[in-house]
Structure 1
Amino acid sequence: MLGPRLIRAEIFVVMSVSLGASALVAFVRLIGSLTAPRELKGQQAVLVGSMAPGRPWLDLALQLVQIAIAVAPVGLVAYLMVRSGESLRTIGADFRRPGGDLVRGALLAAAIGGSGLVFYLAVWAAGVNLTVVPGALPEEWWQVPVLLLAAAQNGVLEEVIVAGYLLHRLGQAGWTPWKAVVVSSLLRGSYHLYQGFGGFVGNVVMGVVFGRAYQRWGRTMPLIMAHTLIDAVAFVGYAFLRGRVSWLP
């Protein structure tokens, strides 16, 4: 078992090549948005956008490469856990309980997804959030598959690292459950700062719910499924509803 000093060093390395780095970029992007001439709600935060407009095959290739690179830190986490005599099964990132994990994930997704949409519309109307564009891909045959892959990438990357791995390691370092959840939740909120203050607060709340769920269940897979479902509905739903309903910014 790793000592507290090695655990801190390991966490620093993992975060510096993954979501910790994303948090720093998100903070800088927020400063850019706050100092821009337009108000926050008049600016856009595109989550999955075209990477090669007008060149669909190149765009598809870049999307797939981007997804593969983004999820790579999960491999680093898996390796480090094996080095310490554990595995991803230790944090419940496996398929041992598919039925129960799916039910729990679906319930979490319904609760967080529904309330999250209402919260987003409220903070956007208040002018403290950018206009979030979940998907802005060209209408090609691969649009929906790429959006679903992007949703799965977010679910796997964020929940394995910020929920399962981080909470597990902080627990091994002697942190109290609530202290660990607070740190995990603040990190989750910080790498969503590019969306505005609403994105930060909403994801902190989501982090508390997901963090406590992990500590109660000892499994990351329900969180992965919930996060993937939330993003899949947001990405694909936006692609179909954009321009067809008046209430969607």
Structure 2
Amino acid sequence: MTPEPVDPLPERRLPLSRRQVIAESLVVAGLSLGESAVYAVVRLIDMLSRAPLAEQEAKLNTSASERPWFDLVYQLLGNGFALVPVALVLVLLGRDRLLLRGLRAAPCASPLPEPPGAGAQMQLPGAQCAEQEPGRGAEAAEAHSPPGVLARLGVTRAPGRDLGRGVLLFVLMGAGTLGVYAAGRALGMTAQIQTDNLGAHWWTVPVLLFAAVKNSLLEEVLLMGYFRIRLHMLGLSPWTVIVVLAVFRGSYHLYQGAGPFVGNVAMGLVFGWCALRWERRRGDTIMPFVWAHLLLDAVGFLAPGVLHMVDAG
């Protein structure tokens, strides 16, 4: 038998209106990166109203308490709760899978099932398939069901290849980031970035690594996974989606100045181009971007002297 062609974007067939997709996306953005973007703009205006941007500092990973144990608790809670939007979008994408599975099974179901009466049970769409085709119903439903959420995002597809691609992106974007940061500092359009402000504690390195993991999962799962899928559902062209998400990526870094904004927009364009190229061959995958982002943040947090060398130069 000829295998059924894979739908590159099965979510287009979801029974969701354009208004529902927009409303859901705005809520997710408001709970996560959209909130950060608004605060970044306000913080940038505040900083510019005080002094030239080049004379100010943008501090990351700041201490939350003078007492080390409470500071550790605050750091773990802050980074942990920041991952809740990731769990939310995985739940929403999982709901998409259930809806798609119901749609694919619907042709086997009666168009208007009777409401359940006393002692009766409501049958799900496609339940009659198993009765009409004994022994084939479960196999047919499974064969035509959409991939799971993690598989849809390419998490388990080829971990070695994804890590290799992530390392290459890290090298490329790392060099570009330093160059853009240096240019922004030289032009007086970028604040001095301080990436480690936790002090010297036994837990400092693990917490900074946790923060890097949090940033990579939060940004890449939402941007390269959820929001990319939702914008495609709205009918936007692939490159329109890439540009929109790249500008969005840069927006919540605005408080650091023009250099990080431009650098993150460029990173979004490169990531989007790579995703567009790779998914045409083997399907969607976000893991190279998660790995690249994780390595960028881990090096930036654990080796702040690299940025200090740029400032000194």
- How far apart, in 2, do the equivalents of 1:81 and 1:198 lie? 34
Does residue 224 of the first structure (1) align with residue 290 of the second (2)? Answer: yes
Does residue 35 of the first structure (1) align with residue 49 of the second (2)? Answer: yes
- How far apart, in 1, do the equivalents of 2:294 and 2:310 lie? 24
Letter in 2 for 1:237: A
Does residue 6 of the first structure (1) align with residue 67 of the second (2)? Answer: no
Q: 1:58 aligns with which of 51, 58, 70?
A: 70
CA contact (8 A) 2:253 2:261 kept: yes
Listed as ranges, the matches of 1:86-97 within 5 Å are 87-92=149-154, 94-97=155-158
Q: 2:37 aligns with which of 19, 23, 26?
A: 23
Letter in 1 for 2:21: I
Aligned sequence identity (%): 44
Compared CA separation, residues 242 and 183, structure 1 to 2 (3 A): closer
Letter in 2 for 1:73: P
- How far apart, in 1, do the equivalents of 2:32 and 2:310 lie? 34
Deviation at 1:242, TM superposition (A): 7.7
Letter in 1 for 2:240: K
Q: 2:232 aligns with which of 158, 171, 189?
A: 171
Q: Deviations over 1:206-228 (max 9, x none)?
A: 11111222222221111001000
Compared CA separation, residues 242 and 169, structure 1 to 2 (3 A): closer
- How far apart, in 2, do the equivalents of 1:115 and 1:43 lie? 23
Letter in 1 for 2:290: I
- How far apart, in 2, do the equivalents of 1:119 and 1:169 lie? 31
- How far apart, in 2, do the equivalents of 1:110 and 1:236 lie? 16
Q: Deviations over 1:38-75 (max 9, x none)?
A: 2111111111111113x111111110100001111001
Q: 1:103 aligns with which of 164, 176, 183?
A: 164
Does residue 191 of the first structure (1) align with residue 203 of the second (2)? Answer: no
User: Mean Cα displacement is larger for which, 164-173 or 109-118?
Assistant: 164-173
Listed as ranges, the matches of 1:234-245 within 5 Å are 234-238=300-304, 241=305
Does residue 79 of the first structure (1) align with residue 79 of the second (2)? Answer: no
- How far apart, in 1, do the equivalents of 2:251 and 2:298 lie? 22
CA contact (8 A) 2:300 2:306 kept: no
Unaligned runs of 5+ in 1: none
CA contact (8 A) 2:180 2:262 kept: no
Unaligned runs of 5+ in 2: 1-13, 98-147, 279-283
Please state whether the residue corresponding to 1:135 is helix, strand or coil: coil
Q: Which residue of 2 aligns with 1:210?
A: 271
Q: Deviations over 1:73-106 (max 9, x none)?
A: 00110011111116243122x2332101100000
Letter in 2 for 1:43: Q
Q: Deviations over 1:143-177 (max 9, x none)?
A: 11111111111000000101221111211221100
CA contact (8 A) 2:178 2:310 kept: no
- How far apart, in 2, do the equivalents of 1:123 and 1:246 lie? 14
Q: TM-score, structure 1 length as denominator? A: 0.93
Compared CA separation, residues 116 and 246, structure 1 to 2 (3 A): closer
Does residue 48 of the first structure (1) align with residue 48 of the second (2)? Answer: no
Letter in 2 for 1:175: L
CA contact (8 A) 1:91 1:168 kept: no
- How far apart, in 2, do the equivalents of 1:3 and 1:89 lie? 25
Letter in 1 for 2:297: D
Deviation at 1:142, TM superposition (A): 0.9
- How far apart, in 2, do the equivalents of 1:96 and 1:9 lie? 31
CA contact (8 A) 1:192 1:200 kept: yes
